[in-house]
Amino acid sequence: MPFCPECKAEYVDGVKKCHDCDVDLVETLPLEEEVLVEECPSCGGDVESGGDYCPHCGALLTEEFVPCSKHPEAQAEGICIICKDPLCPDCINSKTGRILCGAHKKVEVSEGWAVAFESTDFYEASLVNGKLENAGITVAQRNSDGIGFIAGGFIETAIGRTILKYPVKVFVPIEQYLEAVSIVNEPPPSITEMELQS
């Protein structure tokens, strides 16, 4: 039985290309290398053995000199978990044990996820959610249940969500945050572009 080397799907004999990945099938899949992990001394998260920094908290794990992205003469002590910029102590913004740069210090992060979009308008958040999913971004919504259950029948509106400080939040994996934000901030297609697409 042939296999797709990309998605690992198994096909019946005679099929030559993967229908999803459009690559040639192979007779056997290569053995996957076992990744050794160790514990981050800062947060206790799993880090690939020999890794330079912890992707969970941003702690710098190498003993080599790593220059700060803004102050090249200064030794970096951490990496922004969003943009991966090395940061010296003067540039570090620590938030719930995670290192962030000045540009990303206000990004809400939680257990490997970051808020790419939030709105008190449930429908707007749902549209953004769909747009990100269509672009291949992994998405998780929070606060998307009706506020009527929370406020004892309060009408489900953007005003109600604003009063109750209960916006719908669209979370994405931290490693997909920058791509997700660029997709969210893309201007909507013009009428001419939409006519050309149809």
pLDDT of residue 133: 95
Q: Which of 105, 124, 151 is the last residue of a domain?
A: 105
Q: Give residue-wise pLDDT tens across range 141-197.
A: 876 555 444 445 545 555 554 555 568 899 999 999 999 999 999 987 776 655 665
Do residues 117 and 141 both lie within one domain?
yes
Residues in contact with 193: Cβ distance below 8 Å, sequence separation at least 6, in sequence order? none
Do residues 23 and 55 both lie within one domain?
no
Separation CA 118–CA 122 (nearest Å): 9
Confidence of residue 34 (pLDDT cuts 50, 70, 90): low
Do residues 86 and 131 both lie within one domain?
no
16-30 mean pLDDT: 85
Residue 173, SS3? Answer: strand
Residue 169, SS3? Answer: strand
Domain membership flag for residue 121: yes
pLDDT of residue 132: 95
Separation CA 163–CA 67 (nearest Å): 45
Domain membership flag for residue 15: yes
pLDDT of residue 158: 52
Do residues 98 and 122 both lie within one domain?
no
Domain membership flag for residue 141: yes
Domain membership flag for residue 75: yes
Do residues 113 and 180 both lie within one domain?
yes
Would you say residue 80 has pLDDT above 70? Answer: yes
Q: Domain tally for the chain?
A: 3
Do residues 113 and 161 both lie within one domain?
yes
**Residue 33: Cβ-neighbour burial (10 angstroms; 0-12, 13-18, 19+):** exposed
pLDDT of residue 192: 64
Do residues 114 and 148 both lie within one domain?
yes
pLDDT of residue 122: 78
Backbone phi and psi for residue 197, each to the nearest 5 degrees, phi listed first: -75, -25
Domain membership flag for residue 190: no
Strands (E), 46-102: 46-48, 78-79, 86-87, 93-95, 98-100
pLDDT of residue 161: 46
Domain membership flag for residue 133: yes
- Specify whether the CB–CB gap between 184 and 117 falls below 8 A: yes
Do residues 87 and 148 both lie within one domain?
no
pLDDT of residue 115: 95
Do residues 117 and 160 both lie within one domain?
yes
Domain membership flag for residue 137: yes
By residue range, what is the domain housing residue 131? 109-184
- Specify whether the CB–CB gap between 6 and 23 falls below 8 A: yes
Q: Taking the C-alpha atoms of 57, 63, 69 and 70 in order, what is their torsion angle to the nearest 10 degrees? A: 100
Domain membership flag for residue 153: yes
pLDDT of residue 33: 62
By C-alpha distance, which of 127, 134, 129 is closest to 171?
129
97 or 115, which is more confident: 115
> Other C-beta atoms within 10 Å of 102: how many?
13
Do residues 85 and 65 both lie within one domain?
yes
Do residues 75 and 140 both lie within one domain?
no
